[in-house]
Homo-oligomer: A and B are copies of this chain.
Amino acid sequence: MPGDSIGKLFRVTNWGESHGPMIGAVVEGCPSGMELSVDDIQPALDRRRPGQSKIVSQRKESDTVQIVSGLVDGKTTGTPISLVIVNQDQKSKDYSNIADLYRPSHGDFTYQQKYGIRDIAGGGRTSARVTAPSVAAGAIAEKILVQRHQIKITAWVESVHNIVCDVVPETVTREQVECNIVRCPDPEVAEQMIARIEQVRKQGDSLGGVVNCCIQGVPLGLGEPVFDKLEAALAHAMLSINASKGFEFGSGFAGTLMKGSKHNDQFVSEDDRIVTTTNNSGGIQAGISNGMSINFRVAFKPVATLLQKQQTVNKQGESVEYQVHGRHDPCVLPRAVPIVEAMAALVLCDHSLRQFG
């Protein structure tokens, strides 16, 4: 059964493979009458694309998006918006050395077993390249959210390996995040992260880390109990991102070390609004946004592609050694930031439409 769509009222259907002719997405549910152009979308793609800095994959892709339906005179018509990105760098690289084996912790083995066939070139649909259309769709969602609710979504790299940046979520701005190539709002910690990534890249190894995301301006009332709680929808979206391993919101796992008397967020009145003095709830109570900032963290594993010799087995189950060369991300974290933001935007936009029509 297909799993290529996300959202119910704002629905994105993602298609395409790493080295196919095109990748794209169909975006349904965008309200009519909204001004929209590629200028609203391209900047997000530019933050996700390869080749943007020395610490990410050097694949040459401009990721130039085209909007091929759903617009008239620069405005949305309420019909599906089809987004298309032509793959440029499909060079006839020779994948024959890995065609017959299962790279560790990649999708080679599971795709082969599930589908009986797999697209070896660039990993086919297992490639993180498929997040590009989702990022494009997320840019549309974000525009809707800003227009409706003045929402501000900001994600950043909180840690790379054991190098951790400690900031107050509500104070982080996207400008700060974009100040350096690793997308960590603390410039000093960013330098350390970059150095560590470069060092590990030279070793042909890879690193993981954590992305933190804070969303301000969320309206009260998003989320649908009991199974479509807002945190459940966010967890679903985040765990659908390639290489993600965990999700927590508000106090998260650390909250299990608190007592209830400390963990409960006290309500107070402030400027005719009811707010909480702390935000262990991460902006969500009983599955519904309470008007405070939504805050969550996503863990990403170290990239599975290494430029080292590795042992594995081939399709026949025989032990083999192999080594890949070429372009890869030694650490997905810098490029994960716009992806986390986009997926959050998709979830919130869907739930905004579910709540407010």
* Min C-beta distance of A236 to chain B, whole Å: 4
Nearest opposing residue in chain B for A220, CB measure: B113
Contact of A357 among B69, B249, B357 (CB under 8 A): B357
* Min C-beta distance of A71 to chain B, whole Å: 8
A51–B291 Cα distance when bound, in Å, is: 36
Contact of A249 among B114, B225, B245, B282 (CB under 8 A): B245
A291–B114 Cα distance when bound, in Å, is: 11
* Min C-beta distance of A222 to chain B, whole Å: 8
Contact of A246 among B248, B285, B289 (CB under 8 A): B248
Q: Which of A1-30 contact B (CB under 8 A)?
A: 1-6, 8-9, 11, 13-17, 20-24, 26, 28-29
Chain A 280-306 interface mask (CB, 8 Å, partner B; 1/0): 111001111111000000011111111
Contact of A239 among B111, B114, B229 (CB under 8 A): B229
A179 CB-CB contact with B under 8 Å: no
Stretch at the interface among A53-61, A169-177, A183-191, A253-261: A253-261
Number of copies of chain A assembled together: 4
Interface residues on A, range: 35 or more
A240–B237 Cα distance when bound, in Å, is: 14
Q: Which of A161-210 contact B (CB under 8 A)?
A: 161-162, 200, 205-210
* Min C-beta distance of A346 to chain B, whole Å: 10
Q: Determine which residue in A16, A23, A356 has the highest number of CB atoms from chain B within 10 A of its CB, and name it.
A: A16
* Min C-beta distance of A8 to chain B, whole Å: 6
Nearest opposing residue in chain B for A87, CB measure: B68
Instruction: Please name all residues of chain B whose beta carbon is closer than 8 Å to the beta carbon of A232 when the two chains form the complex.
Output: 235-237, 239-240
5 cross-chain CB contacts under 8 A: A20-B68, A77-B124, A107-B286, A245-B282, A280-B301
